Amino acid sequence: SSSCSVATSYFYFLLHYLVQYKPTKRMVTLWKCFSTRSLSSWHVAFWRSSRTNKCKLLMKQTPETLDGRGTSPCQTRHLTGHASFTIDNIAEVIKHSDTSRVLVMAGAGISTASGIQDFRTPGSGLYYNLQKYHLPYPEAIFELDFFFTNPKPFFEYARELVPGKYAPNAAHFLPALLHRKDKLLRMYTQNIDSLERLAGIPDEKLVEAHGTFSTATCTICSARHTLEDIKKEIDEGTVPRCREHGCKGVIKPDIVFFGEAPPDRFYMYAQDVSETQVLIVMGTSLEVMPFAGMADEVPSDVPRLLMNNNRVGSFGIRAKDVMQTGDIVASVEDLVARMGWDEDFKRLRAEWTIRTPDERTKYC
């Protein structure tokens, strides 16, 4: 019923608010249990709008200071009212952090510089460009009920993301550089474009929270398939079908749809957030749970760096929050320069450009 839906959504929002601002051990445990349960798309949409409005209300009451303004395409923003912790402090923390202690979270915004659409930009985002498929609402493309009814829109989208069509940019190479410097604890990505893999982040350091195109599963017989098994059909714009014993079921890439649980590896975050010495968040709206909740679960004394087009989530509330707003690639290059790793960064990117196409995609 509608009243039950409203009550459930309000409970979801209230629980998330309490965990962020008035956490207790019991409350956090309850949140972890509740946030992994399946919610209808209506609940998700309702919670998102409620959370956005709440954040706007909170930020209206928060003093804001800006520094770093000028000709730079990225700006350093502090909303604690003190601006005592800066991007230079972040650079020093990363340089002098212990082995494998830098945690990275990333969303679709890091891939826009590679030519891949994000989801929500008005007039150009993925959801806007899906209007030609006459979806009941944009998010339907990632809902199982709609997929089983009409899988073609999803595979039209999939054709654009098959590994090999796009190249990683500076934002993908930053965690790869951190790995090479033995600083990367883990990278958690919402992306399904595999550009993190292409940049050189190994499996043990990468968690694809929303799944991957590298493997696929038949929706009827559950037979396992690889990307190569279905790549031809995807390239041709047709729906791949299972050939196991004449099954003919639709083969769905192992992408996490709304209502599906994240991969088991995702839950390593519970340990990772307690071990990290600095958190870097790039190119995400921090709206999709449980991924978004990770940023609030790192200890309160851990520095958090946001590199994004705009402020999101609870960033700006903690004393050691630093926000680089504006162009993400420019923000990444600025951070690398402040750490004195420019030459290493150039060398890493140059190595990628001389690889053969097969070498670039062999891990995807």
Kindly state the average pLDDT of the residues 172-188.
Answer: 98
End-to-end CA distance of the chain: 44
Q: For residue range 65-100, what is the model confidence (pLDDT) as tens digits?
A: 333 333 345 655 555 444 578 999 999 999 999 989
The pLDDT of residue 306 is above 60: yes
Quick one: pLDDT band at residue 139, thresholds 50, 70, 90? confident
Residues 6+ apart with CB under 8 A from 114: 166, 167, 168, 169, 172, 193, 195
3-state secondary structure of 288: coil
The domain of 349 spans 65-112+167-209+264-361
What CATH number should be reported for the domain holding residue 333? Answer: 3.40.50.1220
Are 101 and 177 contained in the same domain? yes
245 band by pLDDT with thresholds 50, 70 and 90: confident
pLDDT for 16 beyond 80: no
* Dmax (CA) of the chain: 66
The pLDDT assigned to 162 comes to: 72
In the chain, the percentage of residues whose pLDDT exceeds 90 is 48
- List of residues 6+ apart from 300 with CB closer than 8 A: 318
CA distance 313 to 58: 11
Binding-site residues from annotation: 218, 221, 242, 247
pLDDT band (50, 70, 90) for residue 183: very high
Same domain, 135 and 218: yes
Q: Is 210 assigned a catalytic role?
A: yes
Same domain, 179 and 324: yes
* Nearest CA-CA partner of 83 in 108, 66, 100: 66
The SS3 of residue 187 is strand
Q: What percent of the chain has pLDDT over 70?
A: 70
Same domain, 198 and 278: yes
Q: Are residues 99 and 183 in the same domain?
A: yes
Domain count, the chain: 3
CA angle, 27 then 31 then 32, to 5° = 120
Q: Residues forming the annotated binding site for Zn(2+)?
A: 218, 221, 242, 247
Give 205's pLDDT tier (boundaries 50, 70, 90): very high
pLDDT in the model for residue 140: 87
Residues 108 and 121 both lie in one domain: no
Same domain assignment for residues 158 and 178: no
CA distance 231 to 211: 17
More confident residue, 232 or 159: 232
